Structure 1
Amino acid sequence: MVYRFGSHIPLPGVDINEVNRFITDQENANSGILGLLNSFTGGSFKRASVFALGIMPYISASIVVQLMGMAVPYIQKLQKEGESGRNKVNQITRWLTIGICLVQAPAYLTLVTSQILPYDPASSYAIYVIPPTNFWFWFPSTVILITGTIFAMWMGEKITDKGIGNGISILIMVGILADLPKAIFNAFEVDPSNGIFFLIEMLGLILVIAMCIMIVAAVRKVPVQYVRRAQTSSSSYMRSVTDSVRSYIPLKVNAAGVMPIIFAQAIMFLPGTLANYFLDDTSSVKQFFAKMADPFTWEYNLIFGLLIIIFTYFYTAITIPVNQMAEDLKRNGGIIPGIRPGKETANFLDEILSKITLPGAILLTLLAVLPAIVKLLGVEQSLAMFFGGTSMLIMVGVILDTVQQINTYLLNHRYDGLMTSGRTSRDI
């Protein structure tokens, strides 16, 4: 509630009533990378609110630190030091978040005053009470944008500590969900008389959610057998008893999550963004890059899909340490039936991972390009964005994780109640 309330508090010198009137009339900043950032912040991005940067600088810092953990020995050492190491890594991530905000806050103010909410003294929209060319607009706004991100990061960490689920992910999900009711209303408002098509849209949305659940939850179970030794003694002999416990390693079909889509989107939008600043409007190169930045063109989706498949393999390879898994199995007395411990186990896990990554990458690509497909079929653009892509995967992933943690909490609560009171689960 606090996060959604903050998304409607404007920066100093900005008239929120004029902002809302301008957005309603112009309906700008609804496509490309601006539309993506706006959906992640729940509309804060185009309203010039105190939470305009949202939680994304923290997510960017977390990704950078995660990638550094594969190349920087100091970060690798911290990641292996348990709770104290994780606390130090979190502290590094927080400071890096502030550093990213110091770059993004002035860049955002430049963007918002030139494109999203352009400043024009002769315009009928009196958006800026304080002219954005004034120092007393830039300096307080920069400080407040950075403070807004740090406050959102603090809220996310508090939700993680005192609530259920990952607080940062929940804040992102809340921002994305904020636009869903409006998108559904707009889709119905386009042609209220065509109720059958609207029902087909809702059914299609449910099927897409089911597909997302399948992609997020699908695993390939690799059987593992752990050997346990125990000694029994009697007055006449002592002998060794060997027992075995069966388990499995769950290898996710989509181990990379939404990261391939995020990386691919960043690459797709970057040339068009640079072309906007450095090329003339009549340039054919700029027109080409503008088409490549439109998520509803076939050229964009073709290259976008190829990039997702490439990044899925790349991110899976660097985040799933098969050699480390093989060593941990060997150290703990675990073996995969029919496979020798050590190098052969690592090769076996790598082979399975390669085989299941391909269908996972294809399904992820299909989900990413689905909004463009359904828009061609007549679905309204704002609702089409919920038919797949990063937004839907994040929502489904966060909700599944939260439901799982709630079930774990309830199970532990019932177990503790049974142990302390002797009552059955039905009584509880």
Structure 2
Amino acid sequence: MFQTLKNAWNMPELRKKILYTLFILLIFRFGSCIPVPFINTELLATYFEQSQVAGSMLGYLDMFTGGGLSNATIFAMSITPYINASIILQLLTVAIPALERMVKEGGEEGRKRIASWTRYVAVVLGLLQGFSYYALLRSNGFLSNTSVLAAAAIILTFTAGTALIMWLGEHITQNGIGNGISIILFAGIVSRGPSLIRTLYNLFKQGGGSIISALLMIVIGLAVVVFIVFMSNAERRIPVQYAKRVVGRKMYGGQSTHLPIKVNASGVMPIIFASSILSLPQTVSMFWQPAAGTVGWHVLNLFSQSNPFYIIVYGLLILAFAYFYASIQFNPIEISNNLKKNGGFIPGFRPGKPTSDFITKALGKVTFVGAIFLGIVAILPLIVGAISPNLSNVALGGTSVIIVVGVALDTVKQLEAQMLMRHHKGFLE
């Protein structure tokens, strides 16, 4: 990875893209330090340091925002409304045939229209989430001014921050390196690294933990990273044989190749999408806090991260989104038709429907393995946090690690692909 970054830095075009991405991330980090007016940030930070908040969904969202939520900065809501808007539009695209035709047949124009609608929906969701966060601040006495103008200023500032992050992410995708939304999530999570280390240190200091147990946790963490890298690069290769054909005096085909199906083809998106959906009940609880013992209280309590119901639903959503993304990225019928047109076939299967059925079955098995992998890495830390409340804040590290590692691997692969396109001699050697 470091060699790839070094080779990319030596290329003027890629160096400009890297510097552009770093500049955008610098703007993001500056925005994560600018507080919104009329909010007592000291009381709010103390509130987020409490154990019942640190391991909850609020603590989870605070991790995504790089501490912006606990400090009530202009980027307090981060990219969450945009992610939720993307989920809604993608599901609607699959459910509504007219939208699906617009994407497939409209080409670039259709994709631009869907992207524009996603932005509008993100702004609407940003207003709703900004209002819910304002309600949480007001109900807990964190506001220095409760007037209507102050409320409008706070909500609109939160929404404007979301729109600005959305704009920054799109510019990273267009002019920088990697997927802009993922890169911003990566930066927010990495910025919380020192805080997580300090939490671990205080935990061992107060609990009298030994050096051996600390080293054991470090070894387990490194093993998890290695496991994530291995599974992210794993793939099933379906052999493909091309028949020989004579065109004029030349013979074409006859070579053997393979059709790669990645075990974790969807990357970290199932976890991000599942987390965003399960954050909605927590958003509702910000402005609606039912009395203890009522039906509403029981329903919202089900979505606590230490609740078994939440953990089960989280795993099922990860599984569902893994299959959803696999179905978007792979079309077995289209792949089978392309193989047939080019004179290719999978040994042991006739071209056409038998080939597409085999690819569908292989894709289902590989996707299931990838979904189980994502579920294990994301859910095990939550189980640890539910068993040991002292580790509830540390438990958030499971999801953050897989996002950080996944985004880093995808970004490095994009760098390698761009260097290959430019026939960079140092990389090819």
- TM-score normalized by structure 1? 0.80
Tell me by how many angstroms 1:172 deviates.
0.7
With 318-327 and 395-404 compared, the bigger mean Cα shift is at 318-327
Tell me by how many angstroms 1:412 deviates.
4.6
With 240-249 and 264-273 compared, the bigger mean Cα shift is at 264-273
Counterparts in 2 of 1:396-407, with a 5 A limit? Answer: 396-407=405-416
The answer to whether the aligner puts 1:344 opposite 2:354 as a matched pair is yes
Q: Secondary structure at the match of 2:257?
A: strand
Seen in structure 2, the aligned counterparts of structure 1 residues 170 and 310 have a Cα distance that, compared at 3 Å, is closer
Aligned to 2:145: 130
Tell me by how many angstroms 1:181 deviates.
1.7
CA contact 2:84–2:277 (8 Å) conserved in 1? no
Aligned to 2:216: 200
Tell me by how many angstroms 1:377 deviates.
7.1
Task: Give distance in 2, aligned partners of 1:272 and 1:85.
Answer: 34
The answer to whether the aligner puts 1:246 opposite 2:262 as a matched pair is no
Aligned to 1:383: 394
The answer to whether the aligner puts 1:152 opposite 2:173 as a matched pair is no
Task: Give distance in 2, aligned partners of 1:308 and 1:226.
Answer: 37
Q: Aligned match of 2:363 in 353, 360, 377? A: 353
With 192-201 and 1-10 compared, the bigger mean Cα shift is at 192-201
CA contact 1:48–1:112 (8 Å) conserved in 2? no
Seen in structure 2, the aligned counterparts of structure 1 residues 166 and 270 have a Cα distance that, compared at 3 Å, is closer
Q: Structure 1 regions of 5+ residues with no counterpart?
A: 120-126, 233-238, 419-424
The answer to whether the aligner puts 1:183 opposite 2:196 as a matched pair is yes
Aligned to 1:422: none
Task: Give distance in 2, aligned partners of 1:112 and 1:189.
Answer: 28
CA RMSD of aligned residues (A): 3.3
Aligned to 2:56: 32
Q: Structure 2 regions of 5+ residues with no counterpart?
A: 1-25
Output the amino acid matched with 1:31: G
For residues 115-171 of structure 1, give each alpha carbon's deviation from its aligned partner in whole angstroms, at most 9, with x where no partner exists: xxx12xxxxxxx43322xx11112222222221111111111222222211111100
For residues 250-269 of structure 1, give each alpha carbon's deviation from its aligned partner in whole angstroms, at most 9, with x where no partner exists: 21223444454456556766
Output the amino acid matched with 1:252: K
The answer to whether the aligner puts 1:323 opposite 2:333 as a matched pair is yes
Task: Give distance in 1, aligned partners of 2:361 and 2:258.
Answer: 16
Aligned to 1:44: 68
For residues 352-396 of structure 1, give each alpha carbon's deviation from its aligned partner in whole angstroms, at most 9, with x where no partner exists: 12222333333222212211344447973322221x23x222211
Q: Aligned match of 2:138 in 87, 109, 113? A: 113
CA contact 1:215–1:254 (8 Å) conserved in 2? yes
The answer to whether the aligner puts 1:280 opposite 2:291 as a matched pair is yes
CA contact 2:137–2:143 (8 Å) conserved in 1? no
CA contact 1:184–1:383 (8 Å) conserved in 2? no
Task: Give distance in 2, aligned partners of 1:289 and 1:135.
Answer: 28
Seen in structure 2, the aligned counterparts of structure 1 residues 305 and 86 have a Cα distance that, compared at 3 Å, is closer
Seen in structure 2, the aligned counterparts of structure 1 residues 38 and 228 have a Cα distance that, compared at 3 Å, is farther
Seen in structure 2, the aligned counterparts of structure 1 residues 427 and 344 have a Cα distance that, compared at 3 Å, is closer
Output the amino acid matched with 2:292: D
CA contact 2:60–2:396 (8 Å) conserved in 1? no
Aligned to 2:128: 103
Task: Give distance in 2, aligned partners of 1:160 and 1:401.
Answer: 13
Seen in structure 2, the aligned counterparts of structure 1 residues 86 and 306 have a Cα distance that, compared at 3 Å, is closer
CA contact 2:275–2:314 (8 Å) conserved in 1? yes
For residues 91-131 of structure 1, give each alpha carbon's deviation from its aligned partner in whole angstroms, at most 9, with x where no partner exists: 222222223223322223223322xxx12xxxxxxx43322
Which structure is higher in helix share? 2
CA contact 1:173–1:394 (8 Å) conserved in 2? yes
Seen in structure 2, the aligned counterparts of structure 1 residues 348 and 8 have a Cα distance that, compared at 3 Å, is same
With 267-276 and 105-114 compared, the bigger mean Cα shift is at 267-276
Counterparts in 2 of 1:196-345, with a 5 A limit? Answer: 196-227=212-243, 229=245, 231-232=247-248, 239=249, 241-261=251-271, 265=275, 277=288, 279-283=290-294, 286=297, 290=301, 292-298=302-308, 300-302=310-312, 304-306=314-316, 308-309=318-319, 312-313=322-323, 316-317=326-327, 320-345=330-355
Tell me by how many angstroms 1:219 deviates.
1.3
Output the amino acid matched with 2:173: T
Identity of aligned residues (%): 35
- TM-score normalized by structure 2? 0.80
Aligned to 2:41: 16
Tell me by how many angstroms 1:202 deviates.
1.0
Output the amino acid matched with 1:325: I
CA contact 2:54–2:392 (8 Å) conserved in 1? no
CA contact 2:83–2:273 (8 Å) conserved in 1? no
Q: Secondary structure at the match of 2:336?
A: helix
Task: Give distance in 2, aligned partners of 1:143 and 1:274.
Answer: 19
Tell me by how many angstroms 1:190 deviates.
2.1
For residues 221-254 of structure 1, give each alpha carbon's deviation from its aligned partner in whole angstroms, at most 9, with x where no partner exists: 112234575634xxxxxx4523234332221223
CA contact 2:303–2:309 (8 Å) conserved in 1? no
